[in-house]
Amino acid sequence: MEIKIVENTKEVLCDVLVVNKFEGKETSNSLVNKYAPEDFTGKAGQIFVMHTQKEFPSTYILALGLGDESCMDNNIIRENVAKAIKKCVELKAKTVAFDFSTDYGFCMPLVMGVNIANYHFDKYKNKKAHRIAEIYLSNVVPEAVNVASIISDAMKLSRNLANEPAAFSTPSKLAEIAQGFEGIETIVYEEDKIRELGMTAYLAVAQGSVQPPKFIHMKYVPENPKKRIAIIGKGLCFDSGGLDIKPAASMLNMKDDMSGAACVLGIMKALPKLHPDVEVHGIIAACENMPSGSSYKPGDILTAKNGKTIEVDNTDAEGRLTLADALCYACELQVDEVVDIATLTGACMVALGSAASGIMGNNDDFVKNIIEVGAYAGEKFWQLPMWQEYRDNMNSDVADMKNTGTRYGGASAAGMFLKEFVTDNVKWAHFDIAGTAFLDKPQKEFCKGATGAGVRTLLDYIICQ
């Protein structure tokens, strides 16, 4: 889709001209003001469509309700613009122009809404989904359009990779993609080097699969960085559960268990185009968790990179084992902050559903800052507790800890497990995106499938430093 900036969108020859309406106010379009029914009040989400009968260059005019102008925010614009785009798709429109009349800075959320709603994963379908080809905007800041487009493209890459079958998004494929980013220095460690680095908890998870593990370290380094951040994405390219195998229904969408890794890849591809003054390390411990004669077993004792020992209580609690070694590696880079993002626990999905991601960390100010950025970007985060009781439930008789606790408080227990592998001098936050990374039905601006969870929040956070 191409976005074009013009002087006056009212004069554009297009399929649909979209105008906004606030409650209690007229639109900037005379036809809408004259012919809209009384019940079209401008309430957020209301849509009125009419044929222009050649009184305007566009074929249709779509009036979009945005509610009370005094309550305007990014989320209202983005979500409702997405509704308008979906209606334009129903009309089989190819070209859409926006004529928004408001003092609110609508540009970035509008572009984000357009791009998110115009996304379809139909690579393997013979009949492709209809897409908008051109968007026309006026009264916008070109740089804001550019930034929103870059973030949208990062989300698209992330969504595509998580929607792909596991046969495509293998550890080797993720490594290949990471090595192709312009402006990013990428190192890929093979199994021998991974073992030499002491990441044997990660290797234990990988050893049951014929797909070789790939430890991926991407670096974006500006000339004078203000801060150094590491972002770790869980890279389970397929999770069968291992020898503690999942039920068939629970395994169906486990291609998405690398959504954290997909998020990191999207972010790293975007950074050289955004030019933030922040050094960013993107880290992925990519592998598969499969049952075989070589799989790791319940009762095995593993030694993580920092020397701590882990009794394997359940082979389906594998993501935290890969993240443990990745966290140790990241902290050794002497960064200021570390964020890990992972489809980690079903417990978080039970607690928060698909409406919000869980977040935990070792510094409340850092966590709250991310939550605020997420609210601006359009992603909800809910801080979960990190209390010693959750850690005590993972005590082991034969090792420093088990990799699971009781059946209760699983998301917080996982967070307490990960904390064991973060050094005290590094600010750390953990995102549990188990419920938000992949939707089983359309929700707000998103269609069914992968969402690119975390991409826009983390990019906005980096840009704002």
- For residue 442, the one-letter residue type is P
Catalytic pick among 246, 273, 380, 419: 246
Nearest CA among 318, 320, 366 for reference residue 339: 366
Nearest CA among 330, 374, 334, 333 for reference residue 355: 374
End-to-end CA distance of the chain: 30
SS3 355: coil
CA 378 to CA 381: how far, in whole Å?
A: 10
Chain centre distance of CA 37: 40
CB 49 within 8 A of CB 61: yes
Catalytic pick among 214, 305, 320, 444: 320
CB 213 within 8 A of CB 202: yes
- Per the annotation, the verdict on 83 as an active-site residue is no
- Per the annotation, the verdict on 228 as an active-site residue is no
Q: Which two tokens stand for residue 62?
A: 């779509």
CA 323 to CA 338: how far, in whole Å?
A: 12
CA 348 to CA 432: how far, in whole Å?
A: 7
CB 153 within 8 A of CB 146: no
Q: Which two tokens stand for residue 345?
A: 């626990």
Distances (CA, A) of 164 to 174, 259, 341, 346: 12, 11, 19, 21
CA 104 to CA 20: how far, in whole Å?
A: 12
Residues belonging to the active site: 246, 320
